[in-house]
Amino acid sequence: MTDIIWGTVTKIISTNSFEMNVSHQKDTNQDSYKDVEEIQFSEIDIPSIPADENSRNVSEIEQNLKDKFVKCEISGRNSENILVCAVSHSGAGGY
Amino acid sequence: MWAPQIFQNDNSIYENLISGQIPAIIIPEIISKFDCENLCNKILLNQYITSGPGISNKIGTSLSSHIYEKSKYFSNSQKSNQLIQHIFANTKSPLLTMQKIIKNISQKQISTAMENSMSYSDAVIRIHQDGDSVHLHRDHSTFEMSEYSISNFGNQLSAILYLQSPIKGGELTIYQKKWNKLDEKMRLPDFGYSSEMVKNIPQTSILPVSGNMIIINPKFYHQIEYVHGPKQRISIGFFFGELSKHHLCSWA
């Protein structure tokens, strides 16, 4: 089973990475995660952010992700110990 | 005391709601109990009851079900608007009555929002059954639905008409706390926010009295308490905001 964490995006680092405050973790996660994690996104399911990394820019990602609550499905850590995840928005704050 | 105010032709009430000086405007008995019963009979016979974020039974499309599926939202809105019009066929549409009241309170014109010649959803009918509740949340399209043009409307409010009261429960609790970005750390993965957020915050409670319309400022945290008993809590609602100084647009 894939580990999943949720939290708010605090800083956009590059066109494929950001920093997040981890507020929720799936009960059955295999690993534990820090309160603040750097995320490299391998996939992003947010229509306003292009799937192709070359078509993205940091300000566009900031506009769409900064301060937002996201779900990260973790596939592992890269050589720099950064989490590699599929990222999507999560739930709704209201209806 | 932070308490709902009943509308008595005092137009400052609209500004007071926007500024958060009052939690809600109540407009009593905008339609008769008899009309409410008739509408509810039609609603409950409807076979197009679906579910959405925070609610298990609803009729009609809402933005929160399609935050990132814009074309699907607009295609569903068209069907949803036809369905709701069909439910209200041969009766005086409560949506028109609600719009008329909003026009009177705000002194502005109101119509359903459009984007690229496509209509937003007119309204959503929500049906809460025995044991249902809606967890603490706020509604904030500017932050959460920036893909849609309605997210740019100023002073967004929410209008609800209660069509059927439950036997017990189903009160709307509004907390004297307005959403801000930092609150996102208290989000829950599926829907809404942690109840810890409103611990010790003053609150007010509104009974879902059939025939009564309320207008709230949805950026203030709110929740629906548990419904008890065999009679459903049924309401119809939409959001509206300022397109311009003299024109409001609504959506659901």
Domain span at A13: 3-89
Q: Quote the distance between the C-alpha of residue B9 and its chain's center.
A: 22
* C-alpha dihedral (B137, A83, A88, B133), degrees to nearest 10: -30
Asked if the model's pLDDT at residue B53 lies above 80, the reply is no
The 3-state DSSP class for residue B3 equals coil
Asked if the model's pLDDT at residue B65 lies above 80, the reply is yes
**Alpha helix ranges (H) inside chain B:** 12-19, 33-45, 70-87, 94-106, 141-144
Confidence of residue A45 (pLDDT cuts 50, 70, 90): confident
Mean pLDDT of chain B: 94
Q: Specify the amino acid at residue B153.
A: F
Contact B189 A90 (CB under 8 A): yes
Confidence of residue B46 (pLDDT cuts 50, 70, 90): confident
pLDDT per residue as tens digits for the range B142-185: 888 888 999 999 999 999 999 999 999 999 999 999 999 889 88
Predicted confidence at residue B30, as pLDDT, reads: 97
B218 to chain A, any CB pair closer than 8 A? The answer is yes
Predicted confidence at residue B34, as pLDDT, reads: 95
Across chain B, the runs of DSSP E, i.e. the strands, are 5-6, 24-27, 50-52, 55-59, 109-112, 114-115, 118-119, 124-128, 134-137, 154-164, 168-169, 172-178, 203-206, 213-216, 220-224, 227-228, 233-244, 247-251
Beta pairing, strands B203-206 & A17-25: unpaired
Residue among A21, A24, A48 whose CB faces B189 most closely: A24
* Listed range (A59-63, B125-129, B242-246) with the worst mean pLDDT: A59-63
Q: Which two tokens stand for residue B167?
A: 């036997």
List of domains in chain B: 5-251 (2.60.120.620)
Candidates A94, A24, A23, A4; CA nearest to B182 is A23
Predicted confidence at residue B170, as pLDDT, reads: 98
* Single pTM value for the model: 0.90
* C-alpha dihedral (B219, A94, B140, B180), degrees to nearest 10: 60
Contact between B187 and A91 under an 8 Å Cβ cutoff? The reply is: yes
A72 to chain B, any CB pair closer than 8 A? The answer is no
Q: Does A94 fall in a domain? A: no
pLDDT per residue as tens digits for the range B11-28: 899 999 999 999 999 999
Predicted confidence at residue A47, as pLDDT, reads: 76
Shortest Cα–Cα distance, A3 to chain B (Å): 14
Predicted confidence at residue B103, as pLDDT, reads: 97
Asked if the model's pLDDT at residue B64 lies above 90, the reply is no
DSSP label at residue B44: H
Asked if the model's pLDDT at residue B245 lies above 90, the reply is yes
Q: Does A38 fall in a domain? A: yes
Question: What residues contact residue B19 under an 8 Å CB cut-off, 6+ apart?
Answer: none
In angstroms, rounded to a whole number, what is the distance separating the alpha carbons of residues A24 and A6? 5
End-to-end CA distance of chain A: 30
Predicted confidence at residue A54, as pLDDT, reads: 87
The 3-state DSSP class for residue A1 equals coil
Question: What residues contact residue B118 under an 8 Å CB cut-off, 6+ apart?
Answer: B74, B77, B78
Residues of chain B contacting residue A48, judged by C-beta atoms under 8 Å apart: 68, 146-147
pLDDT per residue as tens digits for the range A64-87: 899 999 999 999 999 999 999 999
Chain A: residue whose CA lies nearest to B62: A95
Number of domains observed in the structure of chain A: 1
Can you give the CATH number for the domain in which A60 is found?
2.40.50.90
Contact A6 B187 (CB under 8 A): yes
The arithmetic mean of pLDDT across residues B219-242, rounded, is 97
pLDDT per residue as tens digits for the range B203-214: 999 999 999 999
Asked if the model's pLDDT at residue B74 lies above 80, the reply is yes
